[in-house]
Amino acid sequence: MAPPLPLVVLVFLAVTTVVPHSAAASAGAPVVFPKEATPTKSGYLPIPPANASLFFAFYEATDPVTPPASTPLLLWLQGGPGCSSLVGNFFELGPYFVNPDGETLSRNPFAWNRRFGLLFIDSPLGTGFSAAPSPADIPTNQSVIAAHILAALQSFYALDPTLGLRARPLFLTGESYAGKYVPAAGAHILDANAALPEAQRVNLRGVAIGNGLTHPVAQVATHADSVYFLGLVNARQRRELESLQSEAVSLTRAERWAAAADARGRVLSRLQNMTGLATLYDYAKQRAYATDAVGTFLNRAEAKSALGARGDVAWAECSDAVFEAMHGDVMRSVRPQVESLLRRATRVLLYQGVRDLRDGVVSTEAWLAGVRWDGLRAFLDAQRAVWRTGDGELAGYVQRSGALAHVVVYGAGHLVPADNGRAAQEMIEGWVLGTGLFGSGSQGGGNGRRRASLMPPVAAVSAVEYEQAGPNAKCVAQCRILLR
Ligand SMILES: *[C@@H]1O[C@H](CO)[C@@H](O)[C@H](O)[C@H]1NC(C)=O
Ligand SMILES: *[C@@H]1O[C@H](CO)[C@@H](O)[C@H](O)[C@H]1NC(C)=O
Ligand SMILES: *[C@@H]1O[C@H](CO)[C@@H](O)[C@H](O)[C@H]1NC(C)=O
Q: What is the mean pLDDT of residues 194-210?
A: 95
pLDDT at res. 307: 97
- Do the beta carbons of residue 294 and residue 90 sit within 8 Å? yes
For 258, the 3-state DSSP assignment is helix
> What is the pLDDT of the chain when averaged over all its residues?
86
Domains: count for the chain: 2
Determine, yes or no, domain membership for 57: yes
Q: 271 and 201, same structural domain?
A: no
pLDDT at res. 450: 32
- Compute and round to an integer the Cα radius of gyration of the chain: 23
**Closest ligand to residue 270's CA:** 3
Determine, yes or no, domain membership for 201: yes
Judge whether residue 467 has pLDDT over 80: no
What does the alpha-carbon distance between residue 112 and residue 366 come to, in Å, rounded to a whole number?
Answer: 29
Q: 466 and 446, same structural domain?
A: no
Determine, yes or no, domain membership for 23: no
Q: What is the mean pLDDT of residues 235-257?
A: 98
pLDDT: is 1 or 153 the higher one?
153
Q: 232 and 120, same structural domain?
A: no
Question: What is this structure's pTM?
Answer: 0.85
Q: Are strands 384-388 and 394-401 parallel, antiparallel or unpaired?
A: antiparallel
pLDDT at res. 359: 97
Determine, yes or no, domain membership for 332: yes
Q: What is the mean pLDDT of residues 328-336?
A: 98
pLDDT at res. 30: 59
Q: 353 and 249, same structural domain?
A: no
Q: 256 and 193, same structural domain?
A: no
Q: How confident is the model at residue 170 (pLDDT cuts 50, 70, 90)?
A: very high
- Do the beta carbons of residue 341 and residue 186 sit within 8 Å? yes
pLDDT: is 480 or 27 the higher one?
27
- Does the active-site annotation cover 176? yes
Judge whether residue 18 has pLDDT over 70: no
Q: 475 and 354, same structural domain?
A: no
For 365-407, what is each residue's pLDDT tens digit?
999 999 999 999 999 999 999 999 888 999 999 999 999 999 9
Atom of ligand 3 nearest to the CA of 276: 13
Name the amino acid, one letter, at 169: P
Q: Are strands 52-59 and 347-353 parallel, antiparallel or unpaired?
A: unpaired
pLDDT at res. 390: 82
What does the alpha-carbon distance between residue 311 and residue 327 come to, in Å, rounded to a whole number?
Answer: 29
Instruction: Rounding to the nearest 10 degrees, give the CA dihedral for residues 227, 76, 73, 66.
Output: -50
Determine, yes or no, domain membership for 183: yes
Q: 407 and 371, same structural domain?
A: yes
pLDDT at res. 167: 94
Residue 77, domain CATH = 3.40.50.1820
For 117-127, what is each residue's pLDDT tens digit?
999 999 999 99
pLDDT at res. 440: 61
pLDDT at res. 24: 39
Q: 295 and 253, same structural domain?
A: no
Judge whether residue 349 has pLDDT over 60: yes
pLDDT at res. 163: 67
For 281, the 3-state DSSP assignment is coil
- Do the beta carbons of residue 183 and residue 143 sit within 8 Å? no
Take atom 2 of ligand 3 and give the residue whose Cα is closest.
Answer: 273
Determine, yes or no, domain membership for 305: yes
Q: Which of 125, 138, 140, 181 to mutate to test the pocket of ligand 2 (most atoms within 8 A of CB)?
A: 140
Take atom 5 of ligand 1 and give the residue whose Cα is closest.
Answer: 51
Q: 86 and 223, same structural domain?
A: no
Q: Which of 244, 268, 273, 274 to mutate to test the pocket of ligand 3 (most atoms within 8 A of CB)?
A: 273
Q: How confident is the model at residue 31 (pLDDT cuts 50, 70, 90)?
A: low
Determine, yes or no, domain membership for 42: yes
Nearest to 171 by CA among 441, 442, 433: 433
| Number of other residues whose CB lies within 10 A of the CB of residue 314 | 11
For 387, the 3-state DSSP assignment is strand
Nearest to 428 by CA among 386, 450, 395: 395
Determine, yes or no, domain membership for 74: yes
| Number of other residues whose CB lies within 10 A of the CB of residue 373 | 18
Q: What is the mean pLDDT of residues 47-71?
A: 94
pLDDT at res. 29: 54
- Does the active-site annotation cover 374? no
Percent of residues, the chain, with pLDDT higher than 90: 80
For 404-424, what is each residue's pLDDT tens digit?
999 999 999 999 999 999 999
176, 246, 319, 340: the catalytic one is: 176
84, 329, 414, 419: the catalytic one is: 414
Q: 440 and 331, same structural domain?
A: yes
Q: 231 and 311, same structural domain?
A: no
Judge whether residue 446 has pLDDT over 70: no
- Do the beta carbons of residue 443 and residue 400 sit within 8 Å? yes
Judge whether residue 443 has pLDDT over 50: no
Nearest to 211 by CA among 417, 24, 482, 41: 417
Expressed as residue numbers, the domain containing 247 is 219-281+460-483
Q: 303 and 156, same structural domain?
A: yes
- Does the active-site annotation cover 319? no
pLDDT at res. 211: 98
- Do the beta carbons of residue 408 and residue 394 sit within 8 Å? no
Q: Does the beta carbon of 16 sit less than 6 angstroms from any atom of ligand 2?
A: no
What does the alpha-carbon distance between residue 90 and residue 88 come to, in Å, rounded to a whole number?
Answer: 6
